[in-house]
A and B are shown apart, each in its own frame.
Chain A
Amino acid sequence: MPEPGMTADRDPGDLLRELAPQVLGALLRRFGHFDLCEDATQEALLAAALQWPRDGTPDNPRGWLITVAARRLMDAARSESSRRRREDQVAVATPQSELLSPAADADPGQDGDDSLALLFGCCHPSLSAPSQIALTLRAVGGLTTAEIAAAFLVPEATMAQRVSRAKQAIRDSGVPLTVPAGEAERGDRLRAVLHVLYLIFNEGYTATQGDQLTRPDLSAEAIRLARWMHRLLPGGGEVTGLLALMLLTEARRPARTSPGGELVPLAEQQRSRWDRALIAEGVALITGALAASGQAAGGPAIGPYQLQAAIAAVHDEAEDVDATDWPQILALYDLLDRVAPNPAGRLSRVVAVARVHGPAAGLDALAALESDRRMAGYHRLHATRAHLLGLAGQHGPAAAAYREAARRSTSVPERRYLSRMAAEQAGQAEQAAQAEQEAPPPGGGVR
């Protein structure tokens, strides 16, 4: 039975997308054939999007969608089998009442299990990242191909091909649409799923191009999917960590760009504009997850999403950049470097070193990273050096490092910000040179 309030006063689009994985899961459980079921589900969603606003939302929206999708599936199977002159394996004779029975039984676990299995299948490691993302957004997120294409600025035909090839790959490789039973494989696959959600969130968070009105908000979609996963796996520390990280990052969005569309770095953001409700929710989530991890003696180490969420929480709870608990942030980055070393984390750790021990110590720590060839071309390394040189009062070299970082950046707003910083540092260098010329050196005439 639908929950009270589930159909009334809800955005029909939200409802449809929430039901999408349930409908597909129910079809798959009955028929298999991922690609056919997925097409049928998508057609049912489109039909609902047209009919429900006109005729009203049905009393049992889930049942309505399953019935329509099953009918489409039958039609497709019939035309397929007649085209190929063979009987399709799809059980055309399955009575629809049987198909719909899970809803009447109202086994709350079944839909969740189906949807989770679906998500694990869409994020299978044999698929490329773009394919995992496209398939997840369509089959689990319920977005249309046109919406996904708009979000990633690729032609719709290209995205349609990407989705159909990914479905074909799943069919050909015989990837089982189940959550792996084994602990180790389950852990690996869960990491892949979380990575896909993280990529979707980041794509939305960093996207500043294109018409915001016509591009679906991928960050909101990633948060929706992470919330949903968290409901299904409330004890999953990394699932909770990722959701908390997304919320704590999303909370800063209103302050992240200036009215003119310029990027505003964390240290300069107007913190009164941060979303306090999201911060409170994120902090509560990560606090709970860390407490649970701490209690589980001998359990798995605290994962990278939990650590990054904890760092974000420390930032978000500070009144300003100077009031930030930098020693704690440094300790968390040390942990992160041990658990999941990565270039971005290491550079952020260097910034924390500079905040705790001074810019010179930061530059020393940075020198250790510069010897790594893979790091040398990374624009954030140059930006970090520029930042530290600026703090150390070496404005000329700081300007040069900002210019180098700007050249290497592959994001337009970031490049504009780095160029502005380069100009600012160059200006300070010039002022310092002038001051030195005009005034005698400190203590000059006294000695």
Chain B
Amino acid sequence: MKYLMLIYGNQEKWDSILGEAWPAEIAKQEAFNRKYSGTGELIGAYGLADAVNARLVRRQDGAPAVTDGPYLETKEYIASFYLVDCENAERAEQIAADMPWADQEPTEVWPILHESPTNP
């Protein structure tokens, strides 16, 4: 069963982590990623750019129409996401609880309902 794990945040929160502490925090995350790549359960780990770089794209008259945004109502937005393939929900929760910042910040765990094969 595959799961999407989401971590939320905002620039203010990242700024609050002191410059010196940052590499150590990143190293913790890398260690987590290595650990679960090793068990074969982590398919991918992705960190997102700030929301200021996000775009809203529509199609108008067959051409892309691009605007800035999304201007999120919420104070926090998706900062990183993880694709995990593991035995069951219990195991997914175990892995989420092992996220380096899970003692301070919750991780959202979403079961993936549908997927299409990428390699035909």
Contacts and interface: CB of A to CB of B under 8 A. Distances in A.
A419 to B, nearest CB: 13
A411 B39 contact: no
A412 B85 CA distance: 18
Contacts of B116: 153, 209-210
B90 to A, nearest CB: 9
Contact of A153 (B37, B39, B111, B117): B117
A158 interface: yes
The bracket for how many chain B residues form the interface is: 20 to 34
B118 A155 contact: yes
A130 B41 contact: yes
The bracket for how many chain A residues form the interface is: 20 to 34
B12 interface: no
A161 interface: yes
A162 B114 contact: no
Contacts of B118: 153, 155
Contacts of A156: 119
Interface in A160-188: 161-162, 165-166, 169
A158 B39 CA distance: 12
B45 interface: no
Interface string B78-120: 0000000111000100000000000000000001011111111
B43 interface: yes
Most buried by A among B38, B41, B114, B115: B38
Contacts of A161: 37, 40
A162 B117 CA distance: 18
A131 interface: yes
B35 to A, nearest CB: 11
Most buried by B among A128, A210, A214: A128
A155 B116 CA distance: 11
A64 interface: no
A162 B84 CA distance: 12
Given A128-B39, A128-B87, A411-B113, A211 B120 contact: yes
B117 A211 contact: yes
Contacts of B38: 165, 169
A215 interface: yes
Contacts of A403: none
Interface in B18-73: 37-41, 43-44
A138 interface: no
Given A134-B40, A166-B40, A410-B111, A155 B119 contact: yes
Nearest to A169: B38
A150 B117 contact: yes
Contact of B40 (A131, A153, A412): A131
Interface in A407-441: 410-412, 415
Contacts of B37: 161, 165
A376 interface: no
A131 B42 CA distance: 11
A447 to B, nearest CB: 54
A48 interface: no
Interface in A118-159: 127-131, 134, 146, 149-150, 152-156, 158
A211 B91 CA distance: 28
Contact of A154 (B39, B85, B113): B85
A413 to B, nearest CB: 10
A119 B114 CA distance: 31
Nearest to B87: A129
A199 interface: yes
Given A131-B40, A153-B115, A410-B113, 16 more contacts: A128-B40, A128-B41, A129-B91, A130-B39, A130-B87, A153-B118, A154-B85, A158-B44, A161-B37, A165-B37, A210-B115, A214-B117, A410-B1, A410-B111, A412-B113, A415-B113
22 contacts: A128-B86, A129-B86, A129-B87, A130-B40, A130-B41, A130-B87, A131-B39, A152-B85, A153-B118, A154-B43, A155-B119, A158-B43, A158-B44, A161-B37, A161-B40, A162-B40, A209-B115, A210-B115, A210-B116, A210-B117, A215-B117, A412-B113
Interface of A: 127-131, 134, 146, 149-150, 152-156, 158, 161-162, 165-166, 169, 199, 209-211, 214-215, 410-412, 415
Top 7 closest A-B pairs, CB basis?
Answer: A162-B40, A129-B87, A131-B40, A128-B39, A410-B111, A210-B117, A130-B40
Interface of B: 1, 37-41, 43-44, 85-87, 91, 111, 113-120
